[in-house]
Amino acid sequence: MKERILITVRTYPTISAKHIETVCTGGITDAGEWRRLYPVPLRYLEGSKQFKTFDIVEVDVQPATDGRPESRRPQMPSLKITGHVDAWQARCDWVNRTTFASMAAMLADGRTIGPVAVREVLEFIAKPSDADWSPAQRALLQQELMFDKRLPLEKIPFDFRIRWRDGDGREHESLVLAWEIYQTWRQYRGKYADPVDIMRQKWMEDILGPAHEVSFFMGNHSRFRENWMICGWFTPPKEIAKDATLF
């Protein structure tokens, strides 16, 4: 079945024994339904298929077997990028009709991926983690591929988390998996003596700052369903968001 999907979520690549590496990918169909596309070896796709956030893609999908209602298995040879949504108002038309007021509302609806409204962002947290891959992960990275050259994948020595309150006022501390936050660290580490402090300022004062109406794209783990992560964010300017209709 072919679907047309606005890509809103891309996570930092994960090493995979079965799929080389994968990027958890999420988006919204033009019918307003959320999709989780897996597996997607994004960096190993040919250049014309390497989609970015807010690109529109067309792709044949099949039912997935992980039990989550939004999950689909994409047939990557069929994938085509057909457009890009640049204007915030147009993005709101896609996203806002799927937004939940709180995590409790999302859970009550049986969803496993989607946007949740943020009442307040409380803290940007960077916890040091292992600076290198585990022995098992290093072994996978050293394996030769039959048809592709193995691409280097850097281990980021931090786990990034955000402490926040949803629309019900309930507080959460959520691990961030979004591609953008890890790529920013890679860019900043060569420019600033304390890249984490600069990142904290950027996210707290700018990206998630008071000028924006913030929602987090939340997704849960395939095996540990109670574990919810921030897979991305939606941050239209408040003057645009207030004119958009929530369905």
pLDDT at 147: 63
71/63 Cα distance (integer angstroms)? 7
Please report where in the chains the tokens 């997935």 appear, as a residue. 64
Going from the first residue of the chain to its last (247 residues), give the mean pLDDT of each consecutive group of 10, the final group possibly shorter. Answer: 96 83 93 95 92 98 91 96 97 96 97 97 97 85 73 93 98 97 96 97 97 97 85 95 58
| Helical residues (DSSP H) of the chain, grouped into ranges | 88-95, 103-108, 135-142, 179-188, 195-201, 238-241
pLDDT at 76: 93
Supply angle C-alpha 210, 198, 15, rounded to 5.
100
106/118 Cα distance (integer angstroms)? 13
Give the pTM: 0.93
pLDDT at 246: 44
C-alpha distances (whole Å) from 196 to each of 18, 102, 162, 210 are: 33, 29, 13, 21
pLDDT at 146: 60
